[in-house]
Every structure is written in structure tokens, then in C-alpha cells.
């Protein structure tokens, strides 16, 4: 949350002693320094300092690794953007985070500054060739505690190659179980489809995070995704559940965005994060520089929103519901399955 306090501290006087005004005895004898956020540059600087300061506060670590599957078969809803920026936010809060890029386009790898040309060891080798996950994981530059298992174009054929393999649905799960490095979070970026790659992610994870854009047809097709989650839970992974819904591309200037947000909250209730992600040029620009918005522009509205969303996710994981509007945590009152939300 923004603070109105002057975070840079008072300006120093070239001459010792208080500055005085000569206009009348009722005027304060000491002139306060101008607020830092009087100018656009000052406001941006203040937000950047506060964002990085908030990131350094640290959050409670989960008792065991939280494996979150970021899925939505619709394209363009912000899956990859959400994956990399939430991962960076959690890492900046002090967590150890692994991003697994399961999308053959490799956009998450690009956004994290990870090389993923055809010869790079990748998640394809893990799924199809049974290579250990530790052999393909790379540290992300600029963000301590953040790691990535990249995707290469080879992954485009993995759907077909997996069909004939033994235990084809659980190959990612076995690779993660054999990974010995300590992690607080694993975020899996799924392709915009419900094929074997997404099924591997759903079998490996316990939580599903669904980004939903605040636009027309936002809920279109979600029923099929929820049915697939139910099928995987019933046959392959009893622990799987939809834990988080994140509203993305929110434009507060339009009535449509607020109507969609209201509809999504009506369907999903408490699973919807209170924090929503605004439409932001900075969020869109960051991947072209091989960065997340957290390092590209720490003071931007997109960066602050992802930091708040990460705090909310982390606190929910330990049974606390975080309200960014009031900047205090309250006990979460209830939980319910969202599988009944959309038919």
C-alpha cells in the first residue's frame, strides 16, 4: 500500500537552524519540506522505493512446497505474465521459486531472461527423455531465489511423443518428486490447451491458479477446464483443487471490467484474490527486455499489483486472508469448492 509519509526523510538545510517566515506571527516558524510525491517523477520514485521495501519484508514460508498450476485454455488471458511476475514477486519476498515452462512457445523462459534455443536442455528432455529436472533448471538473472526450467520448440511435439510412453500423465510429477533442491513454490505455466502437457501439470500440482481477463467472454470455456480438474482429481490426483482466481487486464475506466469482476466474484467467491492486475503498458513491455515488470519498472502499477497478489497468495497458504485495501490480515472465514461455480 502507498504511504503518505515522506520516505526520503527531511531535506537538509545549507544553514543550521530552522527556516523562518516573515509574513505574520501566526505562520509556522519552520517551513516543512515539500512532499516527495509532488511531481510525477517523485511519485514514481516513491512507489519504487515502497515496492522494493515491501518486497524485502519477507512472508511466512509454506510448510511444504506449494505447486501451483497456472492454467486457462483461452489464449491471451495473462497466464505467462501472471506466472513469471508472481514468481518474481514471491522470490523478492524471500521465497525460493521454480518456474516450469510447459508452453512450447517458451514465453515464460523469454520473460525471465533464460536462453531456450533448440540445443538447451529443457523440460522436453525431462518429460520425454526422463532427464533429471536438476539438469535443466537455470537460475534467473537479476532475481535471487528464482529458477526456471525452460521450454524449447521441441516441446511442440511432446504431446504426440508422450502418448506411447509409460505413465504418460505423471512424468512431470515424478521429476518434481525426485528434485532435491529446497523450494517454497513451483509455478507451472501451461499451454493454452487441455492436452497431455496440461494434464501432466494438473497431476503434478495441488493448486490450480486461473487468470481471468476482465473482458467479454471472460468465463467462456472455463466450465471445461473445471470439469478436467474434477476428472484429474477423481482419477489421478485427489489433492488437486482450484485455490486461486486472479483478475487480469482490469481497466477501472470501463463499466465492463467492473461487471466482469462482479460476475467472477459471484461465481467463485473467496477463491478470487482481492488484488486485481491492471492493464499496463509496463507489464507488456517488460518481456521484450527479458525481464519481469518487477525489475523492469518496480514502481509501476503492474509491479505493485503483482507484489500485493503474491502477498495475498502467500498469506492464504498459511490460513490468513490478506486485504490490500485495509493493509491488515484477518482470519479466513470459509473455503468452498469452486467446481460448482460454472456449469
For residue 306, which of 334, 286, 332 has the smallest C-alpha distance? 286
Dihedral, CA of residue 84, residue 299, residue 58 and residue 5, to nearest 10: -160
pLDDT score, position 101: 96
pTM, two decimals, is: 0.78
pLDDT score, position 117: 84
Which stretches of the chain score pLDDT less than 70? 1-58, 319-343
Residues 6 or more apart whose Cβ sits within 8 Å of residue 141: 113
pLDDT score, position 53: 59
For residue 296, which of 275, 281, 311, 279 has the smallest C-alpha distance? 281
Amino acid at each position: 500500500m502507498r504511504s503518505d509519509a515522506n520516505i526520503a526523510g527531511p531535506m537538509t538545510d545549507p544553514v543550521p537552524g530552522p527556516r523562518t517566515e516573515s509574513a505574520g506571527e501566526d505562520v509556522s516558524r519552520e517551513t516543512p519540506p515539500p512532499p516527495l510525491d509532488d511531481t510525477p517523477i517523485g511519485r514514481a520514485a516513491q512507489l519504487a522505493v515502497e515496492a522494493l521495501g515491501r518486497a524485502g519484508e519477507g512472508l511466512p514460508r509454506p510448510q511444504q512446497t506449494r505447486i501451483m498450476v497456472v492454467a486457462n485454455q483461452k489464449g491471451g488471458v495473462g497466464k505467462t505474465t501472471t506466472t513469471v511476475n508472481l514468481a518474481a514477486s514471491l522470490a523478492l519476498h524471500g521465497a525460493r521459486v521454480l518456474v516450469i515452462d510447459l508452453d512450447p512457445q517458451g514465453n515464460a523462459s523469454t520473460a525471465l531472461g533464460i536462453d531456450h534455443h533448440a540445443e538447451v536442455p529443457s523440460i522436453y528432455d525431462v518429460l520425454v527423455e526422463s532427464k533429471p529436472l536438476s539438469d535443466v533448471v537455470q537460475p534467473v538473472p537479476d532475481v535471487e531465489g528464482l529458477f526456471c526450467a525452460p521450454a524449447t520448440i521441441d516441446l511442440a511435439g511432446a504431446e504426440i511423443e508422450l502418448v506411447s510412453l509409460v505413465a504418460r500423465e505423471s512424468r512431470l510429477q515424478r521429476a518434481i518428486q525426485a528434485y532435491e533442491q529446497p523450494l517454497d513454490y513451483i509455478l507451472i505455466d501451461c499451454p493454452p490447451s487441455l492436452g497431455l502437457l496440461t494434464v501432466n501439470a494438473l497431476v503434478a500440482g495441488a493448486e490450480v491458479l486461473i487468470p481471468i481477463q476482465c473482458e467479454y467472454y471472460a468465463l467462456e470455456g472455463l466450465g471445461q477446464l473445471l470439469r478436467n480438474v474434477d476428472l484429474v482429481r477423481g482419477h489421478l490426483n485427489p489433492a488437486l483443487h482450484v485455490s486461486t482466481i486472479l483478475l487480469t487486464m482490469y481497466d477501472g475506466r470501463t463499466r465492463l471490467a467492473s461487471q466482469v469482476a462482479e460476475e467472477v466474484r459471484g461465481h467463485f467467491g473467496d477463491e478470487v484474490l482481492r488484488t486485481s492486475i491492471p492493464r499496463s503498458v509496463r507489464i507488456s513491455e517488460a518481456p521484450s527486455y527479458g525481464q519481469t515488470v518487477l525489475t523492469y519498472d518496480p514502481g509501476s502499477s503492474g509491479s505493485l499489483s503483482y507484489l500485493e497478489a503474491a502477498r495475498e497468495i502467500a498469506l492464504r497458504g498459511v490460513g490468513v486472508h490478506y486485504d490490500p485495501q485495509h493493509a491488515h490480515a484477518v482470519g479466513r472465514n470459509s473455503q468452498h469448492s469452486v467446481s460448482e461455480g460454472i456449469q
